[in-house]
Amino acid sequence: MNNKFKSIPVKSSEITPYSQYLSRRDFLKAAGIVTGSALLAACAPGVTESGVPEDESPVGPTSNQTDEFGDPVNSFNDITNYNNYYEFSTNKEAVAPLSKDFTTSPWTVEVYGMVNNPKTYAIEDILKNFTQEERIYRLRCVEAWSMVIPWTGFPLASLLKEVEPTSTAQYVRFETVYRPEEMKGQGSPFYPWPYQEGLRLDEAMNDLTILATGLYGLPMPNPNGAPIRLVVPWKYGFKSIKSIVKIELTDERPQTLWNTVGPTEYGFYSNVNPDRPHPRWSQATERRIGEFSRRPTLMFNGYSEQVAHMYADMDLNLYY
Q: Closest-CB residue for ligand MTE?
A: 237
The reply to whether 152 sits near ligand MTE by the rule CB under 6 A is no
Would you give the binding string for ligand MTE spanning residues 159-178, x where CB under 6 A is met?
-----------------x--
Q: C-beta of 56: minimal distance to ligand MTE in Å?
A: 25
Give dist(CA 30, CA 128) in Å, integer. 34
Considering only the stretches 32-40, 52-60, 84-92, 128-136, report the one whose residues sit in contact with ligand MTE under the rule CB under 6 A: 84-92
Would you give the binding string for ligand MTE spanning residues 280-309, x where CB under 6 A is met?
------------------------------
Three-point CA angle 62, 68, 69, nearest 5°:
100
Considering only the stretches 30-38, 50-58, 85-93, 304-312, report the one whose residues sit in contact with ligand MTE under the rule CB under 6 A: 85-93
The reply to whether 109 sits near ligand MTE by the rule CB under 6 A is no
First CA to last CA distance, the chain: 29
The reply to whether 63 sits near ligand MTE by the rule CB under 6 A is no
The reply to whether 238 sits near ligand MTE by the rule CB under 6 A is yes
Residues 203 and 309 sit within 8 Å (Cβ to Cβ): no
For residue 53, cis peptide bond before it (omega within 30 degrees of 0): yes
Give dist(CA 296, CA 285) in Å, integer. 4
Written as one letter, the residue type at 194 is: P
Cβ-based nearer residue to ligand MTE, 35 or 152: 152
| 41, 109, 241, 247: which one binds ligand MTE (CB under 6 A) | 241
- Measured between alpha carbons, how far is residue 57 from residues 25, 145, 148, 304 in Å? 11, 24, 19, 36
Q: Which of 238, 27, 44 is nearest to 142 (CA)?
A: 238
Q: Which residues bind ligand MTE (CB under 6 A)?
A: 83-87, 139, 141, 176, 195, 224, 237-238, 240-243
